[in-house]
Amino acid sequence: MADAHLRVFRGGPGEEDRFDEFDVPVEEGMVVLDALHWIQGHVAPDLAVRWNCKAAKCGSCSAEVDGRPSLTCKTRLSDFDLDQPITVEPMRAFPLIRDLVTDVSWNYEVNKTIAPFTPPTDVPQEDWRWQQQDIERVQEYRKCIECFLCQDVCHVLRNHETAKPFMGPRFLVRTAGLEMHPIDQADRREYLKHSGGIGYCNITKCCTEVCPEHIKITDNAIIPLKERVADKYYDPIQWVWSKVRGGGSGSSKAGVELPVLQGAPPADQAPD
């Protein structure tokens, strides 16, 4: 079979940013990550690539292939015109570490600000009974493999609109999985509105398009959460009720501030 031609972003501390080009022999069924491994094993042993399972289950090998945020382990070379070069770049939303590897630690810091699963204190666990259809709703959110491609493609994060503190689609999905768990007791609506910045999502659905787990992020996670937040703050009956009850239970972590996503994407780095 013919070779594939890859243009791979290279760069890191003390190095000039550039694209290196590689000709990679193609085998049947090969994916972009196979090609990157071939390059490491035969031409450029120090090419930095983050990966683990190579089975689309761990979400480590995220990159931008011909401009599209993708898991390189499930992006087949046969989907491309091999007469043209295939360009592989790191995710642009996150600070560069080296080559195709970015610093995604911001996501882990955001995650810490979400109130954890809060079971009821008055129902013993042996009495918990949930129907399969109730749990399937939550299972959709919990399918997330944390590849952060949705964060990468989201314009608020990608364009570093840092005036808008925004948790991003990944953590709206995680919050939806907690809020809609059949027995979770915490109320994260104030957090979503004031800390998580749910209002900054203008439902362009880019996140849904890139999700390798096919989670309907916008329709099934973000919009229902927006509705819940709207109910709390803008529904007069709920507003009166909350005054009577004196607020929801467990509205913990409402006042937290999100960390700021640092760093500009490599291709946008202005010369000083």
Using CB under 8 A, list all residues that contact other proteins: 12-15, 27-31, 34, 40-42, 45-60, 74, 76, 97-99, 101, 103-105, 108, 111-112, 116-117, 119, 125, 128-132, 135, 138-139, 142-143, 145-146, 177-178, 181, 184
Closer Cβ to other proteins, 209 or 230, answer by number: 209
C-alpha span between 8 and 87 (Å, rounded): 6
The residue (of 124 and 236) whose beta carbon lies closer to other proteins is: 124
The least distance separating other proteins from the CB of residue 241, rounded to whole angstroms, comes to 27
Nearer to other proteins, 183 or 223 (CB): 183
Considering beta carbons, is residue 1 or 240 the nearer one to other proteins? 1
Pick 42 or 203: Cβ nearer other proteins: 42
Task: For residue 226, give the H/E element and its range.
Answer: helix 223-234
- Tokens 């196979």 correspond to what residue? 34
Please list, in sequence order, all residues whose beta carbon lies within 8 angstroms of the beta carbon of residue 9, skipping any fewer than 6 positions away. 17, 18, 19, 87, 88, 89, 90, 99, 100, 266
In what helix (H) or strand (E) does residue 237 lie, and over which residues does it extend? helix 236-245
Whether 140 and 216 have beta carbons less than 8 Å apart is answered as: yes
CA dist list (Å): 260 to 103, 257, 269: 13, 9, 18
Least separation, in Å, of the C-beta of 121 and other proteins?
Answer: 12
Query: What angle do helix axes 223-234 and 236-245 make, rounded to 10 degrees?
Result: 70
User: Between residues 128 and 233, which has the closer beta carbon with respect to other proteins?
Assistant: 128
- Rank residues 22 and 241 by Cβ distance to other proteins and give the closer one: 22
Q: How far is the CB of 1 from other proteins (least distance, A)?
A: 11
Q: What is the DSSP letter of 58?
A: S
DSSP state of 213: T
Min dist CB 251 to other proteins, Å, is 16
Phi and psi based region of residue 148 (left: phi greater than 0; alpha: psi -120 to 50; beta: remaining): left
Cβ 163 to other proteins shortest distance, Å = 23
To other proteins, the closest distance from the beta carbon of 116 in angstroms equals 4
Q: How far is the CB of 155 from other proteins (least distance, A)?
A: 24
Q: Beta-carbon neighbour count of residue 26 at 10 Å?
A: 17
Distance of CA 269 to the CA centre of its chain: 23
